[in-house]
Structure 1
Amino acid sequence: MWGWFKNLLGLGPRVPRISALEAQEKLKAGALLIDVRTPLERKLSKIPGSQGLPLAELARRWESLPKDRPIICFCESGSRSQQAAEFLAEKGLEVYNLAGGISAWQAAGLPVKKGDLQR
């Protein structure tokens, strides 16, 4: 809740929200795509070439991310990835949030690999 309030007041880090097509261009230029959804969500669908780093693990694993490349965070719709992107921006990384998440990526006609979660 405090993070939301800080952002409302403009006290949090400014993280640019980018479209799926803008993200694709940044990826072509060398950016890293980080999926902050849960492992189960990632088994159901994922953006090819993305790396999984669940939001719940970000605080203890963020230092393994490259410091010399832009990072684009995404989730299902863009909310969790906004939290992740703000956290990484506070650590001094160049970071972007994929507006609309994997749903917007797919809606833009970009590739999504569907999983086959068997029970």
Structure 2
Amino acid sequence: MWGWFKSLLGLGPRVPRISAKEAQEKLKAGAVMIDVRTPLERKMNKIPGSQGLPLAELAKRWESLPKNKPIICQCESGSRSQQAAEFLASKGLEVYNLAGGISAWQAAGLPVKKGDIQR
């Protein structure tokens, strides 16, 4: 909640929110997409080519991310990925938040790999 409050007050790093189509273009140009949802959520569905890095593990594993490529953070709706994006921006990385998350990606008609777990 503190992260949300800091964002509301404008205290956190500014992270651009991008649409699914903009994210797709950035991916084509070499950006990396990280999915900050839980492993169980990723088993249900995921954006092809995205890398799983749960929000709970981000602080421990962020240094494994490429420093020379833009990073797009993604979750289910865009809330957790905003937290992740702000954290990564504070570390000096070029980062974007996928507005609306995987839900917006699907709504835009972009491909989603369905898993073997159904909701």
* Common fold: TM-score over 0.5: yes
SS of equivalent to 1:72:
strand
1:41 alignment partner in structure 2 = 41
Alignment of 1:74-85 (within 5 A): 74-85=74-85
Matches within 5 A, 1:34-113: 34-113=34-113
SS of residue matched to 1:15: coil
RMSD over aligned Cα atoms? 1.0
Gaps of 5+ in 1: none
Per-residue CA deviation, residues 63-93 of structure 1 (Å, 9 max, x unaligned), is 0000000000000000000000000000000
- The equivalences for 1:9-48 within 5 A come to 9-48=9-48
Cα deviation digits, residues 3-35 of structure 1 (max 9, x gap):
222111111100000000000000010000000
Matched residue pairs, number? 118
Gaps in structure 2 of 5+ consecutive residues: none
Helix, strand or coil: the match of 1:116? coil
SS at 1:27's partner residue?
A: helix
Structure 1 stretches of 4+ moved >4 Å? none
For residues 10 and 106 of structure 1, the distance between their equivalents in structure 2, rounded to whole angstroms, comes to 30
Question: Could you tell me which residue of structure 1 aligns to residue 6 of structure 2?
Answer: 6
> Could you report, residue by residue, the CA deviation over 1:25-68 in whole angstroms, capped at 9, with x for unpaired residues?
00010000000000000000000000000000000000000000
Q: In structure 2, the residue corresponding to 1:81 is in which secondary structure?
A: helix
- CA-CA distance at 1:117 after TM superposition: 2.3
Query: In percent, how many aligned pairs have the same letter?
Result: 90
